[in-house]
C-alpha cells in the first residue's frame, strides 16, 4: 500500500492528468462494449454472453481491412458495420429462437458461440496473436500537457467514445426510432398492437448493440493484441460496468465505465498489489447501497 | 436452478447476477477440449499434452511442429531400433485437471511409451505427479520454473526437462544488465512482469543477480499486471511517474507485443532502458508492427543463436515445412525428442529403468547447443549447454545485435551457489 504516493499524485496536475486520461482510455473501450450489452439486455432481455466475441470480431475485421485498404478510418467504419451485420444475422438465426426459453438456454447458446467464434478466428486468422499497431498518422510522441503524457491515438479513442455516447443518447431520447426502442423495452405487446414490427426492432437493436461492441474492438485493436479468445478479457469487466451502472441504462454504463477506469488507474498508484480487486470492491459497495445500480430502475 | 419460463424482459436483477456469475465461472474454467487423435498401433508412442486452443494455442502448435520435425527426421532414417516414432497429441485447454486426465489416459488407455509435457508450469507441476505415480518417463518441454527439477521435494526420477531453466536465463540477464548498468549509469530499476509463478520467479532471481553484480542499483517500483492483461496503460503511466532509468520484464507472447505497442505511444523507451527476457522469439518479433530498436532482450529462439550451421539448418528446414520460423517452444520439443530417441538407442530398449539410466548424463548433438551439444544433467534431470544470449534489438533481420553470453562454466557456478543458498543442493 502506498497512500502517500496516491495523495502526492492527487495534488500533482501532471500525474493526475496522465492517470485520468489513462482511466478514460480503459473506460471508453469498456463503455462501447458495455453499452451494447446494456442496450440489448434492456430491450430484448437477452444476456448476450457472446458480446466479448463481437468485440474480438471488430478487432479481427479491422486487421483484415487494414491489410487490404491500409486506411484506418475506412477499416474502422467497415469493421463496425460488419460486426453489426453479423449481429443482425446472429439475432435472426439464433437468438430469436430462445426469447421465450429459460435463461439457461441463453447462456448455453451464447457460450457455444464464444467457442465457435474463437475457433473460427483461429481457422481464419491463425492461432498466433496479431498486432496491427496504431495508424501511422498517430505514431508520434505523446502530447505533453502540464507535464502529463497523452498519446495522440488515445485522444482519438476518447473523442470517439464521447461522440458515440452522445449520439446514442440523442438517438434514444430524441428520435422517433429511439422512442420505439424504448417502448419495445417497456411493453412489446402494446407496441405490436400499434402496428409496429417488433421483431424488426429487436433485430435492429441487436445489430446496433453488436456494432458498438465491434467499434470497441476496432478502437482497441491497434493498441492491444488481437488473438482468439481476446473477448474474454473485456466481457467480465463489461458485465461489472452494466451491473454498476444499472441494467439497460446507457448513461449508467458510461458512468460505470469511467468509475472502473479511475479505480484502476488511481488504485495502481495507491494499492499496486491489489489494484485488480478494487473493481470488485466498488461493485460490491454499489450493490449494497443501490442494488439496482447507479441508474437502474427499482424492481417491482 | 431457475425453472420458470421468463418471457422477454422477464429476467430479474437477481437472475442477471446469478447468470453473470455462472457464465463467468464457465468462461474461467471452461475452454476448449480438443479432438483426440488416435493412431493405431504405433511402434514407439509419445503422448504429447499441451494447449492447442485459446490464447496460447501457439504453445501447442509450434511445440508440436518442433517435436514432429524431429520425429520425421528420425523416422526418415529408419526410426529407433527399427521402430517408428509416433506422436499422439491432445489439448488440455490450459486446465490443470484436464492435463492430468490426458496424461493418465495416455498411460493407461493408450499405453504410450513416453509422455511429453508441453504446458505451462501450472499444469506441469500436476502432470509430474502422474509421472511419479504411474512411473512413466516424461520429457518436460515448456515449464521453465526452476523448482520443477531443482527442488528435491518436487522433482521425480521419471521427469526430465529439455526446456530452458529460468535460473540459467536469469543469471545471464543479471550479468548483462549489471554490465550495462555500469556503462550507462542505470541506477533506478523498475519491473513489469505477469502476476504468477513464472513472472515472480524470473523477476526476483533477475534482481538477485543484478544486485549481486551491481549492489548500488535500487528497485523503485514493481508492476504485476495479470497474465493476458489487455491494457497496460495504468501500469505504464505509473512507471513513468516513478522515473526509473531501466526496467526488467518477463512478459511473454502477445502480452509483450501489447505492452510494447502501448509503451511506444507513451514514449517510454526514450526515457527508460527496457530489458525484456522474451522479445527475441519470432512470434513476438513478427507480431510487432515495427520492432523498436535499442531494447535489450534475451534470446528465446533466434536463427543466429547459436550462429552455427546446425542451427541455421534447423531453422530453414522448419521454415520449409511449416512456412514460419521456429519458436522457443519448437526447439525445446525438438530437443526433447532427440533426447528420448538417443536414450532408447543407447538403452536398446523402451523399458523405463533402462531409459532413465541412459538419459542421465546423456550428451547429444543438438542445433540449440552453445557448442553444438546439450547434456541431460544426471543430478537433477535438466538440460544444460543450450545457447543463451542477450542483445540489443534491431528493426530488421537478424533482429538482435551485440550478442552477449556467458560460458556455461560461470553459469553453473552461479547456479550451484544459488541452489546451495536455497538448500536445494
What pLDDT is attached to residue B20? 56
Which has more confidence, B1 or A46? A46
Q: What pLDDT shows up at residue B14?
A: 59
B259: confidence class by pLDDT, cuts 50, 70, 90: very high
Tell me how many residue pairs between chain A and chain B have CB atoms under 8 A apart.
Answer: 192
Residue B125: is its pLDDT beyond 90?
yes
The yes-or-no answer to whether B44-165+308-384 and B167-305+388-422 have a common fold is yes
Output the pLDDT for position A242: 92
pTM above 0.90?
A: no
State yes or no: ipTM above 0.90. no
- The answer as to whether A182 is a domain residue is yes
pLDDT of B267-324, one tens digit each?
999 999 999 999 999 988 988 888 999 999 999 999 999 999 999 999 999 999 999 9
Q: Is A243 on the interface with B (CB under 8 A)?
A: yes
CB contact under 8 A, A225 and B13: no
Identify the top-confidence range among A258-272, A274-288, B101-115, B194-208. B101-115
| Closest by Cβ to A15, choosing from B27, B241, B288 | B241
Provide the residue range defining the domain that includes A281.
3-127+178-289
Burial letters for B383-408: b for 16+ Cβ neighbours within 10 Å, e otherwise?
Answer: bbbbbbbbbbbbeeeebbeebbbbeb
Say whether B224 and A243 touch across the interface (CB within 8 A): no
Chain B: give the shortest CA distance to residue A149, in Å: 7
Q: Do B11 and A127 touch (CB under 8 A)?
A: no
Q: Inter-chain contact B13–A296, Cβ cutoff 8 Å?
A: yes
Q: Do B27 and A236 touch (CB under 8 A)?
A: yes
Report CA dihedral (A287, A290, A295, B1) to the nearest 10 degrees.
50
* CA of A129 vs chain B CAs: smallest distance (Å): 6
Cα(A263)–Cα(B153) distance, integer angstroms: 42
Whether B23 sits inside 8 A of A110 (CB atoms) is: yes
The structural domain count of chain A equals 1
Using an 8 Å CB-CB cutoff, list chain B residues near A106.
19
What backbone phi and psi angles, to 5 degrees, belong to B278?
Answer: -115, 25
CATH superfamily of B167-305+388-422: Response regulator (3.40.50.2300)
User: Which residues of chain A are modeled with pLDDT < 50?
Assistant: 300
Element (H, E) at B266: none
Dig out the grid coordinates for B301 from the structure. 529462439
Q: Do A26 and A261 touch, CB atoms closer than 8 A?
A: yes
- The per-residue pLDDT for B298 is 94
Burial of A68 (0-12, 13-18, 19+ CB in 10 A): exposed
Residue boundaries of the structural domains of chain B: 44-165+308-384, 167-305+388-422
| Rounded average pLDDT over B105-113 | 96
**Nearest chain B CA: its distance from A80 CA (Å):** 20
- B44-165+308-384 topology per CATH: Rossmann fold (3.40.50)
Contacts of B16 in chain A (CB under 8 A): 41, 47, 243, 247
Closest CA relative to residue B142, chosen from B302, B333, B304, B347? B333
Chain A residues closer than 8 Å to B94 by CB: none
Dihedral (Cα; B317, B320, B321, B324), 10-degree rounding: 100
Chain B contact present for A246, CB below 8 A: no
Q: Is A111 a domain residue?
A: yes
Give per-residue pLDDT as tens, A20-42: 999 999 999 999 999 999 999 88
Which of B13, B224, B226 is the closest to A247 by Cβ? Answer: B13
Higher pLDDT, B30 or A157: A157
State which H helix or E strand residue A253 sits in.
helix A250-270
Q: Is the pLDDT of residue B180 over 70?
A: yes
Cα gap B293→A59, rounded to integer Å: 27
Name chain A contacts of B234, Cβ cutoff 8 Å.
Answer: 19, 22-23, 26, 264-265, 267-268, 275
pLDDT number for residue B40: 46
Amino acid at each position: 500500500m502506498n497512500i502517500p504516493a496516491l495523495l502526492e499524485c492527487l495534488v500533482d496536475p501532471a500525474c493526475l492528468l496522465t492517470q485520468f486520461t489513462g482511466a478514460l482510455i480503459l473506460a471508453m473501450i469498456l463503455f462501447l462494449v458495455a453499452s451494447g450489452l446494456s442496450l440489448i439486455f434492456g430491450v430484448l432481455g437477452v444476456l448476450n454472453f457472446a458480446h466479448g466475441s463481437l468485440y474480438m470480431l471488430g478487432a479481427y475485421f479491422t486487421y483484415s481491412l487494414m491489410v487490404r485498404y491500409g486506411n484506418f478510418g475506412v477499416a474502422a467504419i467497415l469493421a463496425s458495420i460488419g460486426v453489426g451485420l453479423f449481429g443482425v444475422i446472429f439475432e435472426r438465426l439464433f437468438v430469436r429462437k430462445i426469447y421465450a426459453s429459460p435463461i439457461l438456454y441463453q447462456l448455453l447458446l451464447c457460450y457455444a458461440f464464444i467457442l465457435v467464434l474463437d475457433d473460427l478466428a483461429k481457422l481464419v486468422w491463425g492461432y498466433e496473436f496479431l498486432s496491427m499497431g496504431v495508424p501511422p498518422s498517430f505514431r508520434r510522441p505523446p502530447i505533453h500537457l502540464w507535464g502529463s503524457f497523452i498519446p495522440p491515438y488515445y485522444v482519438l479513442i476518447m473523442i470517439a467514445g464521447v461522440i458515440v455516447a452522445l449520439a446514442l443518447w440523442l438517438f434514444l431520447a430524441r428520435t422517433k426510432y429511439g422512442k420505439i426502442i424504448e417502448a419495445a423495452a417497456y411493453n412489446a405487446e402494446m407496441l405490436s398492437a400499434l402496428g409496429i414490427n417488433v421483431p424488426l426492432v429487436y433485430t435492429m437493436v441487436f445489430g446496433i448493440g453488436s456494432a458498438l461492441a465491434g467499434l470497441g474492438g476496432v478502437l482497441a485493436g491497434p493498441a492491444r493484441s488481437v488473438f482468439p479468445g481476446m473477448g474474454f478479457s473485456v466481457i467480465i469487466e463489461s458485465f461489472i460496468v452494466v451491473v454498476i451502472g444499472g441494467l439497460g441504462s446507457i448513461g449508467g454504463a458510461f458512468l460505470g465505465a469511467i468509475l472502473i477506469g479511475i479505480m484502476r488507474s488511481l488504485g495502481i498508484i495507491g494499492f499496486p498489489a491489489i489494484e485488480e480487486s478494487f473493481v470488485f470492491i466498488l461493485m460490491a459497495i454499489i450493490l449494497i447501497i443501490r442494488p439496482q445500480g447507479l441508474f437502474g430502475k427499482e424492481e417491482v | 436452478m431457475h425453472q420458470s419460463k421468463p418471457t422477454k424482459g422477464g429476467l430479474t436483477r437477481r437472475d442477471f447476477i446469478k447468470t453473470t456469475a455462472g457464465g463467468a465461472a464457465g468462461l474461467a474454467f471452461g475452454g476448449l477440449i480438443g479432438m483426440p487423435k488416435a493412431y493405431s498401433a504405433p511402434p514407439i508412442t509419445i503422448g504429447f499434452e499441451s494447449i492447442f486452443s485459446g490464447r496460447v494455442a501457439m504453445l501447442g502448435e509450434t511445440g508440436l511442429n518442433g517435436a514432429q520435425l524431429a520425429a520425421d527426421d528420425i523416422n526418415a532414417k529408419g526410426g529407433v531400433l527399427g521402430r517408428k516414432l509416433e506422436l499422439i497429441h491432445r489439448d488440455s485447454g490450459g486446465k490443470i485437471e484436464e492435463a492430468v486426465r490426458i496424461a493418465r489416459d495416455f498411460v493407461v488407455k493408450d499405453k504410450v511409451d513416453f509422455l511429453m509435457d508441453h504446458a505451462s508450469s501450472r499444469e506441469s507441476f500436476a502432470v509430474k505427479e502422474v509421472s511419479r505415480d504411474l512411473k512413466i518417463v516424461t520429457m518436460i518441454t515448456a515449464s521453465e520454473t526452476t523448482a520443477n527439477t531443482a527442488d528435491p521435494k518436487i522433482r521425480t526420477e521419471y521427469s526430465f526437462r529439455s526446456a530452458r531453466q529460468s535460473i540459467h536465463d536469469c543469471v545471464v540477464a543479471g550479468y548483462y544488465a549489471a554490465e550495462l548498468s555500469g556503462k550507462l549509469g542505470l541506477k533506478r530499476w523498475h519491473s513489469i512482469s505477469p502476476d504468477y509463478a513464472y513472472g515472480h520467479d524470473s523477476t526476483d532471481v533477475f534482481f538477485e543477480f543484478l544486485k549481486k553484480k551491481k549492489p548500488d542499483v535500487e528497485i523503485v517500483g514493481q508492476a504485476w499486471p495479470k497474465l493476458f492483461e489487455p491494457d497496460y496503460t495504468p501500469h505504464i503511466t505509473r512507471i513513468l511517474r516513478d522515473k526509473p532509468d531501466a526496467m526488467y520484464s518477463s512478459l511473454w507472447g502477445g502480452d509483450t507485443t501489447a505492452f510494447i505497442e502501448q509503451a511506444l505511444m507513451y514514449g517510454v523507451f526514450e526515457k527508460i532502458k527496457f530489458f525484456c527476457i522474451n522479445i527475441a522469439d519470432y512470434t513476438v518479433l513478427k507480431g510487432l508492427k515495427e520492432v523498436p530498436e535499442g531494447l535489450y532482450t534475451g534470446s528465446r529462439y533466434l536463427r543466429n543463436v547459436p550462429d552455427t550451421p546446425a542451427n541455421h539448418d534447423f531453422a530453414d528446414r522448419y521454415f520449409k515445412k511449416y512456412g514460419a520460423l521456429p519458436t522457443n517452444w519448437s526447439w525445446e520439443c525438438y530437443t526433447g525428442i532427440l533426447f528420448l530417441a538417443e536414450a532408447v538407442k543407447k538403452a536398446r530398449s523402451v523399458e523405463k529403468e533402462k531409459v532413465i539410466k541412459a538419459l542421465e548424463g546423456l550428451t547429444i548433438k543438438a542445433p540449440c547447443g552453445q557448442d553444438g551439444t546439450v547434456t541431460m544433467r544426471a543430478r537433477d534431470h535438466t538440460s544444460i549447454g543450450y545457447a543463451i544470449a542477450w542483445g540489443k534489438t534491431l528493426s530488421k533481420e537478424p533482429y538482435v545485435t551485440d550478442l552477449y553470453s556467458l560460458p556455461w562454466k560461470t553459469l553453473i557456478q552461479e547456479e550451484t551457489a544459488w541452489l546451495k543458498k536455497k538448500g536445494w543442493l
